[in-house]
Chain A
Amino acid sequence: MRIRILATGLAIGLSMLTGAGPACATGDTIVIGDIDDLSGNYADVMGAGGVEAVRMAIADFGGTVLGKKIEVLVADHQNKPDVGASKFREWADQNGLNMLLGGSNTGVNIAMAKVAAQKKVPLFVIGAGGSSLTNEDCTAYSIHYVYDTTSLANGTATAIVQAGGKSWFYLTADYAFGTQLQAAASKVVEENGGKNIGAVRVPLAASDFSSFLLQAQGSGAQVLGLANAGGDFSNSLKAANEFGITKTMKPAALLAFITNIHSLGLETAQGLYLTTGWYWDLNDDTRAFAKRLFEKIKAEPTMDQSGAYSATLTYLKAVKAVGSTDPDKVMAELKKTKINDMFAKGGYIRADGVMVHTMYVMQVKTPKESKYPWDYYKIVRTMSGEQAFGPITGACPLAPK
């Protein structure tokens, strides 16, 4: 019985102690954070591989900047905006966070962007797609680094319309990312002379797409626009195959990562058009980086993972150039630099936060065309950054038209 009291007392005492938290001395380390979906729908897109990539970048940079050691904090946002934002705020308040890399999930990143603005901590959005992050939801401290719904639509939708897919019906994941992706694609379709016949909103992580696909088929459209990602994308494509819908409609993979293609298999995925900011097999530089990361994660890197590497390096270079971690100075420097590494050549960060760089429209190879493991893509079109990300819309107060 005394032990029980002791135990309770210890529990409360411990919580007090841990509540006091690691409010460690922050002056002598540079702290980089990574808040990502580590265990859910999007865990393979950036996830643990992304963390490895960040560590690689730090090691390649030398491990220290301005004479201070660089530390990495990692957390799983579990696809919940509140978890992500709370963790971000806590790190900013308690751990002296200097920079945050934002993983998948647009909703979480929108929440985190608000914290970034409040706490004045630079946020590199790597994993999320929603273009609103550089429009209505833009802040002075957020950078959209790898891809966004605008560039995805400009790439994939254009390619498909020009290849003959004039009428579209969308299967849209019912949250910010899905609706933004559908809107972007619809715009591109109309601009290219196509027609948007209709759409159906599908709950996130739906278990069965068959009924929605049936509606799509009933619409008579030529193209099945899949405005979703991750597990939803794989699921819906599988079902479309099963129901023979892919015989009469062409699927449009508005967002797909190499990990999706790998788990679907070329048999199912062949012929798909998709847009990506980076591919491991583009040139010697990308292959060299991919080889190093492959050793750690046993899979070829996705564009998010290489983007995380590049973003970390870019940030550290900016800090070194400015000579301090002052967020305003660093942001100013970042918007002046040119990014030239294995991820992007001649990339630059625009006033609204978009990192403008080359994007590639790919087509998935047939099983016969693929000669070696992970040889999945062939380049259909290379878009310059300006073509991919389009002009400044003026929706962001920081970047007026």
Chain B
Amino acid sequence: MRPAMIFYIVICAFALAVPLIGIYPIFMMKLLCFAMFACAYNLLLGFSGMLSFGHAAFFGAAGYATAWLITARGWGTVPAIGAGVAVAAILGWVIGAIAIRRRGIYLAMVTLALAQLVYFVCLEAPFTGGENGLQGVARGSFLGLFSLRSDIVMYYVVLAAFVAQFLLIRRIVQSPYGQVLKAIRDNESRALSLGYDINRYKLLAFVLSATLAGFAGSLKGLVLGFITLSDVQQSNSGEVILMTLLGGSGTFFGPVIGAALVVTLQEYLSDIVGGWVGVIIGAIFVACVLAFRRGVVGELSALRLRRWWGQAPAA
């Protein structure tokens, strides 16, 4: 069996056993949501080569949609998630259509500013609860089959969602569509000269990434029971970039590791050093950009550890 497989099996076993070991399920679920967010983001950054600086807009908008439908309109859990995801997809389509007119840093700037627009809408709109956000989001039940109130049950549901999304992203990247996407990322003019409709591919990548980010956002609202402005704020966008970069953009498991590290640091380091956590994370970010651009997973696989990891993860 390939070493990469062994790694995945170990991780799976660990993940399944989490509630039994005694790790705080809410913490793990938060970690999984952000891991999903980072993986979705990586689809855009790592595999399509587009740096979006406003991805929190999709995460948060979907979260708000789901939370609002549950609290104000009494929707069921799964339909609300579906609606949230749909909102993220539409938003991704609109923002993507404007953003892909530009490239590189310009694209980043555009996404940044459009995300700010979304932020202010969430701030001002009467139904989003302004600075308070939406509180008391009930978890309800899974399609009426079983209740999600228990942290442990919810954990397994979120884990299943995470695995599903992870496999989906893998499928997308390894499909013919994904190959073209990578080609566009590596050399856009060549792909263009080969006759591919670049814009359609890029837009689709944007929409997919936004949709999956929205999925993570909706789940986060259910896990923690609230959605607030921090979820659509610029700092959230910055954090997901950090997670992806730290773990390794362009790899499959990189963003997961990156998210795990950042969420864990924020949770436990802040008990020790308080507000300095932000500075430390910023410093790690700087170090990353300077020296570890491939991120944890990227650096590891580049270190000729192929005999350990088997085939190098998709670069």
**Contact residues in A for B26 (Cβ distance below 8 Å):** 86, 89-90, 93
Give the distance in Å from the alpha carbon of A237 to the alpha carbon of B283 in the complex.
37
Which residue of B132, B136, B308 has the most chain A CB atoms within 10 A of its CB atom? B132
**In the complex, are the beta carbons of A4 and B230 less than 8 A apart?**
no
Interface set, chain B 153-173, CB cutoff 8 A to A: none
Among the listed B14, B23, B132, B133, which residue makes an inter-chain contact with A21, where contact means beta carbons less than 8 Å apart?
A: B23
Q: Which of B39-47, B100-108, B211-219, B266-274 contacts A (4 or more CB under 8 A)?
A: B266-274
A110 within 8 A of B: yes
A245 at interface by CB-CB < 8 Å: no
Q: Are B275's CB and A38's CB within 8 A?
A: yes
Task: Give A53 to B192 CA distance when docked, in angstroms.
Answer: 68
Contacts between the two chains (Cβ within 8 Å), count: 101
Known contacts A12-B260, A90-B24, A114-B136; is-contact A176 B131 (Cβ 8 Å): yes
- Could you say which residues of chain A place their CB within 8 Å of the CB of B257? 8, 12
Q: Please tell me if the beta carbons of A39 and B275 are within 8 angstroms of each other in the complex.
A: yes
A4 engages B299 (CB within 8 Å): yes
Contact check, A23 vs B226: say whether CB atoms are below 8 A apart: no
Given contacts A4-B300, A38-B275, contact A86 B224 (CB under 8 A): yes
- With A15-B264, A86-B26, A86-B224 given, is the CB distance from A80 to B132 under 8 Å? no
Chain B: interface residue total (CB-CB under 8 A) = 38
A81 to B133, CA, bound (A): 8
Chain B positions 115 through 148: 1 when the CB is less than 8 Å from some CB of chain A, otherwise 0:
0000000010000001111011000000000000
Is B288 engaged at the interface, CB distance under 8 Å to the other chain?
no
Interface: B75 (CB within 8 A): no
B291 to chain A, nearest CB (A): 13
CB A34 to nearest CB in B, in angstroms, measures 13
Contact for B225 among A14, A18, A106, A114, CB less than 8 A: A114
**Is A75 positioned at the interface, with any CB of B under 8 Å from its CB?**
yes
Instruction: Judge whether B176 is part of the interface by a CB distance below 8 angstroms.
Output: no
Is B22 interfacial (CB 8 A cutoff)? Answer: yes
Q: How far is the CA of A393 from the CA of B136 in the complex (A)?
A: 23
Whether B133 pairs with A93 at a CB distance below 8 angstroms is: no
Cα–Cα distance between A83 and B275 once the two chains are bound (Å): 13
Closest to A18 in B: B268
Q: Does B296 make an interface contact (CB < 8 A)?
A: yes
CA of A96 to CA of B271, assembled, Å: 17
- B24, A175: Cβ atoms under 8 Å? no
Contact B264 A82 (CB under 8 A): no
B contact residues around A76 at 8 Å (CB):
270, 274-275
Inter-subunit contact B23/A110 (CB<8 Å): no
Let me know if A203 and B136 touch, CB within 8 A: no
Q: Does B77 contact A (CB under 8 A)?
A: no
Mask of A76-118 contacts with B, CB within 8 angstroms, 1/0? 1010111101100110011000000000001100110010000
Q: Give the chain A neighbours of B48 by CB distance below 8 A.
A: none
Q: Tell me the complex Cα distance, A11–B271, Å.
A: 18
CB distance from A95 to the nearest CB of B (A): 10
Q: A1 at interface (Cβ–Cβ under 8 A)? A: yes
Contact (Cβ within 8 A) B135 A75:
no
Whole-angstrom distance from the CB of B227 to the nearest CB of chain A?
Answer: 8
Extra 7 A-B pairs, beta carbons < 8 Å, given A15-B261, A85-B226, A107-B131: A8-B300, A15-B264, A18-B264, A82-B230, A86-B26, A86-B224, A110-B132
**A–B pairs, 17, beta carbons within 8 Å:** A5-B308, A14-B264, A19-B264, A76-B275, A78-B275, A80-B228, A81-B132, A81-B226, A86-B30, A89-B26, A90-B24, A94-B24, A111-B135, A111-B228, A114-B135, A175-B130, A176-B130
